[in-house]
Structures are given as C-alpha cells and as structure tokens.
Amino acid sequence: MTITSPPVPPDAAVTLDGLTKRYGARTAVDQLTMHIPRGSVAGFVGPNGAGKTTAMAMLLGLVRPSAGTATVLGHPISHPARYLGRVGALIETPGFYPALTGLENLRVLAAMGGHDVARIPRVLEQVGLAGRGRSRFGQYSLGMKQRLGIAGALLGDPELVILDEPTNGLDPLGMSEMRELIAGLAGQGRTVLVSSHLLGELEQVCDWLLILDHGELVYQGATEAFAVGVELSVAAEGSADTGRLAELLVAAGYPVRRRGDELVVQLGDRDGRTAAAHVNRIAHAGGVVLSVLHRHRPSLEDQVLARTGGKR
C-alpha cells in the first residue's frame, strides 16, 4: 500500500523505514515507514492484531525486526542501550509484585533501572497516587495499577514515553484521568506514543495520528488533517433505489460508501447545507424518493473504522 506521508523533520523523536517483523509465514508488521515529531502525542490506532504492540516492542529492543531500520531519539534500534535510558514504557499490563506496596515496587524498579529513588514521591504525585503509595499493589484497582505502571515508566525522567493500551479495562472516570495524565506528560515537553482501540479517547488527546491495518500503515499525519469534514447520510425508500441513488451521486462527483441500509456521502470542503440541497435535487431529478437525509461530522473512530474495513 502506498500512502502520501508528511516530510520527516530532522529532529523527529522516532523514525521507521521499512520496518518489518515476520513470524514464520505470518507478517505482523509489514514495511512500516513512519515518524513521530518530537514533543507530540502520537496516537497508534488500528484493529486488534494490526501490529501496534509488535512495532512498539521493536522500538524498545524487545523484539528483533526481520527487515528495515528505525531510530529512537537519534539512535538506531540495533543499539537500544544508547537510548533506553531516555525512554519510559508501559507495554501491556504492569508487572509488579502484588504483596508489595506501590512505593516498594517503585523502589525495586528504581534499583533495577539505576534510577534515583528520590524521584519516587514526584512520580507518584504526577500520576495521582501520592496518597496510595503505601497500599499493596494487589489491593489497587485496575486504573491505579495502570497509573503505577506509568509512574514506573517516568522514574528515569524520560524524553519519550511509550504506552500500550493504557486505558484498557478502565471505567469512564479512569479513562478521563488517564487522558488528563497523558496530556500532562505532553505539557512537560515529552513525546508520547500511545496505542489504543478506544479511538474516541485518542481523538481528545493526540495531535499526531498513525493508523495500522494488517501490519501496514494506512495513514500518518496531524490528527486535524485526518478529518474528512461533514458527511451526509442518505437512503431511498427501496434498496434498489438506494443503489440507483449511489450511481447518481458518484456520477455527480461525490465519494460514496455503504453503511448498512444507508449511503454515506463525503463532502470534503463542501458546505454541508448546500450539498444536502444538491443531493436532494439529484435524487429528485433521478426519480428517487429519499427516506433519510441528514448531516453529521464523523468522529475519529468512524473515520478509522472506514479505512480499516470496520474492524476493531
């Protein structure tokens, strides 16, 4: 798949060039070429099994690529020791000792990573666990466990933070708190790469978007540039007439796709009110009676699902 990508800035935090990972006959990541601007919050989205976690693991030196190259903070991933001290990560679920307190777990992690234990109170405060550091990890809620995992990722005061599905399993309050935490990391000047299948959450916090499907890059660029603008949902009284309507709209230059019994008409930069009137005239001239005609602005989730075949 060939896509048009924005130019790579010389100070990009992460660059990938043809990065590939194969497991036998299965290709998990397929010639991935992309970049993440320094200081951005990059959303890594796509259906389950799209290759997001595998790509993150290669950046962290946890998985060896089959082909291609990548750099993290200016260093090749073939030498992860050169940059891992400036990277904090939470991949999948946090692996802490249930019988130890949050504070004790972070002390163990700091000792293993050579980090300053004096930072522990600061990172606990940063993730909202200042008052629960002396509670056992096994007694934490899922949201608290995720936040302690991020606290661990911040112990080294990293320039780049990589978070794999940090909102997974959280209730709405927990997701809101996680969103605020990610925004706070960006506000400190850090670069954040966060993967999630909860696309509505990413829409609210990410300014850079990377979409994967079956290991291939579908889109990369500014989140605001991904928006397709206003869409129309239309349908005719009969299924045959809906098919006829689709032909008429395509002939008039409108991009059209099916969604259930309705047609979704992408308007791009066209004015929604004017386009709706035009679509109505096209239908009337073609002898098609409309049963549905309304305007809406699609969410990021709608747009990503449209590009990945509706898979989560």
Query: Which pLDDT score, from 0 to 100, does residue 1 have?
Result: 45
Query: Which pLDDT score, from 0 to 100, does residue 104 have?
Result: 98
What's the order of all strands across the beta sheet hosting 191-195?
A: 87-90, 160-164, 191-195, 41-45, 208-213, 216-222
Q: Residue 268 has which token pair?
A: 């791009």
Name the phi and psi angles at 6, rounded to 5.
-65, 155
Q: Which residues contact 270 (CB under 8 A, 6 or more apart)?
A: 229, 230
Residue where a domain terminates, one of 172, 204, 223:
223
Examine the domain organization and report whether 245 and 134 are in the same domain: no
Can you tell me the distance from the alpha carbon of 252 to that of 134, in angstroms, rounded to the nearest whole number? 66
Query: Which pLDDT score, from 0 to 100, does residue 67 have?
Result: 98
CA quadruple 243, 249, 253, 259: dihedral sign = negative
Query: Which pLDDT score, from 0 to 100, does residue 190 have?
Result: 95
Q: Which residue has the tokens 């996680």?
A: 178
Query: Which pLDDT score, from 0 to 100, does residue 159 have?
Result: 97
Examine the domain organization and report whether 199 and 258 are in the same domain: no
Question: Residue 23, class by beta-carbon neighbours within 10 Å (0-12 exposed, 13-18 middle, 19+ buried)?
Answer: exposed
Are the C-beta atoms of 45 and 211 separated by less than 8 Å? yes
Query: Which pLDDT score, from 0 to 100, does residue 309 have?
Result: 61
Query: pLDDT per residue over 265-278, tens digit each?
Result: 877 666 667 888 89
Question: Does residue 187 fall inside a structural domain?
Answer: yes
Query: Which pLDDT score, from 0 to 100, does residue 297 have?
Result: 66
Domain encompassing residue 243: 231-296
Q: Which residues contact 83 (CB under 8 A, 6 or more apart)?
A: 72, 73, 74, 75
Residue 250 belongs to a domain with what CATH number?
3.30.70.270
Query: Which pLDDT score, from 0 to 100, does residue 110 have?
Result: 96
Give the residue from 109, 102, 107 showing the smallest Cα distance to 143. 102
Examine the domain organization and report whether 41 and 123 are in the same domain: yes
H runs (alpha helix) in the chain: 52-59, 102-113, 120-126, 142-153, 172-187, 199-205, 223-226, 239-251, 272-285, 300-307
- pTM of this structure: 0.78
Query: Which pLDDT score, from 0 to 100, does residue 229 have?
Result: 63
Residue 94 belongs to a domain with what CATH number?
3.40.50.300
Q: Residue 85 has which token pair?
A: 């001290």
Regions of the chain with pLDDT less than 50: 1-2
Query: Which pLDDT score, from 0 to 100, does residue 223 have?
Result: 83
Domain count, the chain: 2
Question: Residue 294, class by beta-carbon neighbours within 10 Å (0-12 exposed, 13-18 middle, 19+ buried)?
Answer: exposed
CA quadruple 266, 268, 272, 274: dihedral sign = negative
Question: Does residue 312 fall inside a structural domain?
Answer: no
Question: Does residue 309 fall inside a structural domain?
Answer: no
